Chain A
Amino acid sequence: MENRPLFKSGHTACAGCAQAIAARIVIETAGPNTIIANNTGCLEVFSTRYPETAWNVPWIHSLFENAASVASGIEAALAYMGKKEGINVIVQAGDGGTADIGLQALSGMWERGHDILSICYDNEAYENTGIQRSGLTPYGTNTTTSPAGIKSIGNPRPKKLIPEIALAHGIPYVATASVAFIPDLQRKIKKAISIKGPKYIQISVPCPLGWRHEPSETLLAAKLAVETGLYPLIEYENGSLVSCRKIAPKPVDEYLKMQGRYKHILNNLEEIKKIQGIADDNIKRYNLLEVKTS
């Protein structure tokens, strides 16, 4: 790996970009026999600006919303040539490219049963175009298109449950992961590529620019998102929940106060209570509570 880095230095991501970390972990774990189709977004822009490329694997970008279909074509071509065995096909996108504009193509790909791993780098907004809200922007977040104001609390809707939408397609593997828990992320990628059929992994990747925290706080933000219960790390095989990361829940304030995107609600107890409610619901829904041994 050291001799042939699959994701090279010299890309133009912001300092402290979690997506850059996760993207490298994904391709290093998947290995060189991988073909990537990438939707438009931060990752595409910062890693393939002509005449440079960060990718030492075959990689293609077409449009914002069609990478899942492009990947389907790649997989079909490999199947036609009898080369599918031993080559991983990965389709990757940000949260907008996954949950909003790219959802139809992704749904088609899942439904058709292609042997493809789809990755969502979830930084919870359209960071590439300047921090606009997406379907994966959490409730109460201040973005440039869901700005806080006297008549607005920020983004009025909770995150879309893409893992559940993925599960509804009957695909064999669905998981969430976090850049703060790299061994877990690596394990899930390995697991996913060992399974034939469509797989979906959604990775929490904080964005210093959009979340408004210090670049050095990227991992802290990712860690707190998990430890508050706001970003549950869950894993489904064949429709059954097979693992989740247990937590001793921290109050959401700790997570919210480190990010500029929540500055407007830090003194609003009612709104903080609502966000705590979202975390509590997750904890209950996925049974995230650590069992204490007495």
Chain B
Amino acid sequence: MFGPLIVKPAKSKGDKTGSWRIKSKPSFLQKNCIACKLCLLICPENCISGKEKNAFAVDYNFCKGCGLCAIVCLKNDIEMIEEASSKTG
């Protein structure tokens, strides 16, 4: 008999850690982006995707709102905005 023992990555969807955000979330302005990918490289959640200029986006299901992407953006094209006041948790 086997109980919880091994996880196959394909079966793991991950925790929806986006619910952790309490203050702010990144907004990708998609105006001055040069596709340097620094945001993608630095994101601790690995939840930013994109290849072309002005086409990067964040998956809010996972984003914890640390703000590192906005800090590293060379073109100030990522802005941290207030979480909607209706949001709980």
Direct contact of A and B (CB under 8 A): yes
The residues of A with any CB-CB pair to B shorter than 8 Å are 2, 5, 7-18, 20-21, 24-25, 48-56, 182, 214-216, 218-220
What is the CB-to-nearest-CB distance from B44 to chain A, in angstroms, rounded to a whole number? 4
Q: Is B68's CB under 8 angstroms from A51's CB?
A: no
- 30 residue pairs of the A-B complex, CB under 8 angstroms, read A2-B49, A5-B46, A7-B46, A8-B14, A9-B17, A9-B62, A10-B13, A10-B14, A10-B15, A10-B45, A11-B15, A14-B64, A15-B64, A17-B44, A20-B44, A21-B44, A49-B15, A50-B4, A51-B11, A53-B9, A55-B9, A182-B41, A214-B67, A215-B67, A216-B68, A216-B70, A216-B71, A216-B80, A218-B66, A219-B71
The chain B residue with its CB closest to the CB of A12 is B15
The chain B residue with its CB closest to the CB of A20 is B44
Q: How far is the CA of A8 from the CA of B46 in the complex (A)?
A: 6
Q: Which of B31-71 contact A (CB under 8 A)?
A: 41-47, 49, 51, 59, 61-62, 64-68, 70-71
Residue B7 CB within 8 A of the other chain: yes
Residue B88 CB within 8 A of the other chain: no
Chain B interface, number of residues (Cβ within 8 angstroms): 33
What is the CB-to-nearest-CB distance from A53 to chain B, in angstroms, rounded to a whole number? 4
Q: Is B42's CB under 8 angstroms from A10's CB?
A: no
- Known interface pairs A10-B12, A21-B44, A54-B12; 10 further A-B residue pairs with C-beta atoms within 8 A, sorted by A's residue number: A8-B12, A10-B14, A10-B15, A11-B45, A13-B44, A51-B12, A52-B13, A215-B65, A215-B66, A220-B71
How many A-B pairs have beta carbons closer than 8 Å: the answer is 95
The residues of B with any CB-CB pair to A shorter than 8 Å are 4, 7, 9, 11-17, 20-21, 41-47, 49, 51, 59, 61-62, 64-68, 70-72, 80
Partner among A16, A51, A53 whose Cβ is within 8 Å of the Cβ of B66: A16
Partner among B14, B42, B49 whose Cβ is within 8 Å of the Cβ of A52: B14
Q: How far is the CA of A36 from the CA of B72 in the complex (A)?
A: 29
Q: Is B65's CB under 8 angstroms from A10's CB?
A: no
Q: How far is the CA of A10 from the CA of B61 in the complex (A)?
A: 8
Q: Is A9's CB under 8 angstroms from B68's CB?
A: no
